[in-house]
Chains A and B, each alone.
Chain A
Amino acid sequence: MIALLMRDLKLAFRAGGGFGLGLAFFLIVTVMVPFSVGPQSELLARIAPGVLWLGALLACLLSLDRLLALDWEDGSLDLLATAPLPLESTVTIKALAHWITTGLPLVMAAPVLGLLLSLPVSGFLWLVVSLLLGTPALSVIGTFGAALTVGLKRGGLLMSLLVMPLYVPTLIFGSEVARRGAEGMTVQTPLLMLAGISAASIALLPFASAAVLRVNLR
């Protein structure tokens, strides 16, 4: 399992593009927002949590395309499926590698980008916490979407369509935590819901992803 994780991480770092792309996209979205809504800092501060969450989500979505498709193309996915490791854990490791290469950098970049959107200082902590709790769910749900469309030739667009509605609850609770944190309100309820969604997704979705992948590799 660790070997597989290291392999995926190495591939992501060395193959270039994939690793930095999500981060660059996040940066672009954030930088473009003030141009489209105007530079008033009160307005920016009010929409900053939502914009940062949406940017992180889209950046995540952008990188899902490569999650399984590359292994599918060169045939290593078939090898992984026949390996002694159960497919469920293979899929979990894939999601974990995706989170380390996409989610974690997004979490770390978010405070800096929050500065650009004049997010109030009190909001930084909860923004980071909400992203830290929420991005694993995004990765696991995205892995399910990638597994569904892995055999299709132009699956990327279809995958976005399939994954988007599944992202709705995570996005709502995640940005709610960040928004309430920025406004100094109590965050307990959405925080617990967000954590619950993440935990349940991580616990259950790998089974669905593995089942779907078995069908696709049949």
Chain B
Amino acid sequence: MSIWEYANPKKFLATTEKVMPALWVSSAVLIAAGLIWGFFFTPDDYRQGSTVKIIFLHVPSALMAINAWFMMLVTSLVWVIRRHHVSALAARAAAPVGIVMTVIALITGAIWGQPMWGTWWAWDPRLTSFLVLFLFYLGYIALWEAIDNPDTAADLTSILCLVGSVFAVLSRYAVNFWNQGLHQGASLSLDKKENVADAFSNPLYVCMAGFVLLFIALVFYRTGTEIRARRIKALMARERLEA
């Protein structure tokens, strides 16, 4: 029994199909609970008023935008080293989810920033590095779409993901150095005294857990779709050969 058993597409499909309903339901429940708790049962912030509540969408999506890329990095490495097809397909499946999370984070940030900072957009390190992350996702997805041979595409995008990760980290520090911004520091962390107040952090944790589960569910679902699409392609190719 090892984790590599799930590199078998059949085994992967069978297992994910079993856990999918639980994943969908639990993520939906957690997100709904977190959002309702956050929107209706938390007090208004003494300075930001009710606008603070967008945090329940903003922070989880930003979290998943970064972690989706990290997951793509890991699956790309698995593909490059062990050449399991499911791994490459999972990376492909995660990219659109990641870019949507990035866009949600950017848009909710703009909506939050307008009343708070008086501007929709500022060239602030955090905002700018998210914009760069968005560009990385865009290039990655475009490269997948541009290449016909799936194995070549998997190889090229994997290497792009590895190189891109290094440059993404570099960009993060570069823009930090380049400009000191408006954005507040991390809202939650384990080693700091000053986190957001408990009234906000508890529903936020629920939302974050919900987003993590939603991401896993979406990636499993999309990976399954990719596997089936590939099977169809193989079947059609065989049919054409026989005809």
Chain A contact residues, CB within 8 Å of chain B = 144, 148-149, 151-152, 155, 158, 161-162, 164-166, 168-169, 172-173, 176, 189-190, 193, 197, 205, 208, 211-212, 215-216, 218
Chain B residues, CB < 8 A from A212: 155-156, 159
B41 near A: Cβ within 8 Å? no
Q: Are B139 and A165 in touch, CB under 8 angstroms?
A: yes
A208 to B147, CA, bound (A): 18
19 contacts between A and B (CB under 8 A): A149-B146, A158-B142, A158-B146, A161-B135, A165-B135, A165-B136, A166-B167, A168-B132, A169-B167, A172-B177, A172-B178, A193-B174, A208-B159, A208-B163, A212-B155, A215-B155, A215-B156, A215-B159, A216-B152
Q: Are B164 and A166 in touch, CB under 8 angstroms?
A: yes
* Residue in B132, B162, B173, B178 whose CB lies within 8 Å of A165: B132
Q: Are B177 and A193 in touch, CB under 8 angstroms?
A: yes
15 more contacts with CB within 8 A, not counting A149-B146, A165-B136, are A151-B152, A158-B143, A158-B146, A162-B143, A165-B132, A165-B135, A165-B164, A165-B171, A168-B171, A172-B177, A212-B159, A215-B155, A215-B156, A216-B156, A218-B152
Q: Are A148 and B160 in touch, CB under 8 angstroms?
A: yes
A165 to B163, CA, bound (A): 11
Overall SS of chain A's interface: helix
Chain B residues, CB < 8 A from A162: 139, 142-143, 160
Q: Which residues of B161-175 have CB atoms within 8 Å of chain A's CB atoms? A: 162-164, 167-168, 170-171, 173-175
A173 to B176, CA, bound (A): 11
Closest CB in chain B relative to A187 CB, distance in Å: 13
- Chain B window 137-152, contacts with chain A (Cβ cutoff 8 Å), 1 for yes, 0 for no: 0110011001100001
Closest CB in chain B relative to A78 CB, distance in Å: 16
* Residue in B135, B136, B156 whose CB lies within 8 Å of A148: B156
Q: Are A166 and B163 in touch, CB under 8 angstroms?
A: yes
Closest CB in chain A relative to B158 CB, distance in Å: 9
Nearest A residue to B147 via CB reads A152
Chain A residues, CB < 8 A from B175: 168, 172
Chain A residues, CB < 8 A from B170: 169, 197
A218 to B151, CA, bound (A): 11
* Residue in B142, B159, B168 whose CB lies within 8 Å of A211: B159
A200 to B170, CA, bound (A): 12
Q: Which residues of B12-46 have CB atoms within 8 Å of chain A's CB atoms? A: none
* Residue in B135, B143, B155, B177 whose CB lies within 8 Å of A164: B135
A19 to B231, CA, bound (A): 48
Chain A residues, CB < 8 A from B155: 212, 215
Q: Are A161 and B174 in touch, CB under 8 angstroms?
A: no
